[in-house]
Amino acid sequence: MMKYKLFALLAAILLLAGCNNEDDVLEIFTGKTWKLTYIAAENSHEQYNFWSNDKESEQSFSALKQEGTFIVTFEGTNLNNAVGGTFNAKGINATIDGEWNANGGSHEMSTAKTHVSISERDKLAQAFVTGLQNAIRYGGDDSNLYIYYEDKDGTVKRMNFKAQ
């Protein structure tokens, strides 16, 4: 009986030693289209108020509900433990493309060489573009993606996405 307990303990230790706490970054980011649901301050779960009046916010939310707006897709590879690739996004009128990379252990994320086709007038669309240009980290899984970014005023905001 003692040998059995010792064997079970040794097997459990070996199994736990083989665990990896890093995210599968490619599984999270690629192979789907992400639709923005809302943007919040870093530690909040409520839509951040970007607007100066109700009419502006209503227009933003109407555009957010439209199919094909506020979406992003990521393509990428894992090359020498560096995960990244290209992304394509659509606000309301603007298209945004660039390069991205992410670290599954630290959850750091960055974008580079971003190109925005035209300026957005809508405040939520402007924040969406800013978020993609200034990403600093990510969270989530293959159904929900959270991209954190540093805004122009130095605050950290979180874009919340749902897989389509």
Does the pLDDT value for residue 8 go beyond 90? no
Nearest Cα neighbor of 87 from 69, 68, 72 is: 72
Residue 11: predicted pLDDT: 47
Strands (E), the chain: 33-41, 71-79, 82-90, 95-102, 109-116, 135-140, 144-150, 156-163
Q: How confident is the model at residue 14 (pLDDT cuts 50, 70, 90)?
A: very low
| Confidence check: pLDDT of 19 > 90 | no
Q: What is the mean pLDDT of residues 106-118?
A: 97
Class of domain 23-163: mainly beta
pLDDT at 79: 81
Beta bridge partners, 39, equal 159
Residue 23 banded pLDDT, cuts 50, 70, 90: confident
Q: In which residue are the tokens 């969270």 written?
A: 139
Residues 56-67 have a mean pLDDT of 98
The answer, yes or no, to whether residue 59 has pLDDT greater than 80, is yes
Whether the per-residue pLDDT at 40 is higher than 50: the answer is yes
- Give the mean pLDDT of the chain: 90
Q: What is d(CA 109, CA 134) in angstroms, rounded to the nearest whole number?
A: 9
Say what the pTM is: 0.86
User: Mind giving me the DSSP string for 75-113?
Assistant: EEEEETTEEEEEEEEE-SS-EEEEEEEE-TTT-BEEEEE
Span 76-111, pLDDT tens digits: 999 877 799 999 999 999 999 999 999 999 999 999
3-class secondary structure, 16: helix
